[in-house]
Amino acid sequence: MLVFSAICPHPPILIPTIGKDNLDKIKNTAEAMKKLETDLYASKPDIIIVISPHGEIIPDAFCLNLNTKYNANFEQFGDFTTKMEFRSSSLLAMKIKERIEGTLPIVLTSIEQLDHGIGVPLFYLTKHLKGIEILPICYSFLDYQSHFEFGQLLKKEIAKSEKRIAVIASGDMSHALTEDAPARYSPKGAEFDKKFIQLLQRKDVRGIIKMDPKLIDKAAECGLRSFIILLGILDEYKYEPEVYSYEGPFGVGYLVANFKFL
């Protein structure tokens, strides 16, 4: 059963040993993540599904990472001390694959090392959930409607499970908010972020799926597909989106949102 769902950003500077003084510039995001951790812990999850834009992306298929265990660290960002280990949820992964194959393209991979799109959110969210099982998922480059349908299929398997399942859609918003942004500045960056948040708060899922492709491209986002999968999982649930924080001082939009069930 689904017990929790949220959108999380994944900038490595959220990790204190990496962000250091810069962490003060995104303190709203850090505080929102701490608040989200309290909410997640209260939901008593058995399994956390994390949808990441930075794992093994297969352009024409969705990907489930099924390994016996997972490790996360941030050595590529200069942090050689922070290390995490998680157990896999192999049974759920196999059931999801059985449900989806034949309807949408899906593959299983086996990668022990988790990407930062998973590692950063779990650094905050699993502080009091030692031994939690996780299931890493990567989106594809198929169209947005396929991502929504993928989420709907995930929803059916989650609903059947006796396990308490949380879903985290990891992703950053526009990477073009300022002159020194990673994707260089575009006024479409702030426009995309504002429009997405407005549509999210109105629960206008169709509006999100049908957003202008040119606007999406100019915004240089990395999270939209993750978010649409989550919205597919939430389809037919009664929920209220609550934005905990949004900011982008380094040129990248960081959104933290919880979907509270009614």
Domain containing residue 136: CATH number = 3.40.830.10
Chain centroid, CA 104 distance in Å? 20
SS3 52: strand
Helix runs in the chain, H state only: 16-19, 27-42, 90-100, 116-125, 144-160, 187-201, 205-209, 213-219, 224-234
Q: What is the mean pLDDT of residues 108-114?
A: 94
pLDDT number for residue 56: 85
Is 90 exceeded by the pLDDT of residue 55? no
Q: Write out the residue range of the structural domain in which residue 111 sits.
A: 2-261
Q: By percentage, how much of the chain surpasses pLDDT 70?
A: 100
Instruction: Give the confidence band of 44 by pLDDT, cuts at 50, 70, 90.
Output: very high
C-alpha span between 145 and 208 (Å, rounded): 10
Quote the crossing angle between the two packed helices 144-160 and 90-100, to the nearest 10°.
130
| Residues 178-227: tens digit of each pLDDT | 999 999 999 999 999 999 999 999 999 999 999 999 999 999 999 999 99
Number of domains in the chain: 1
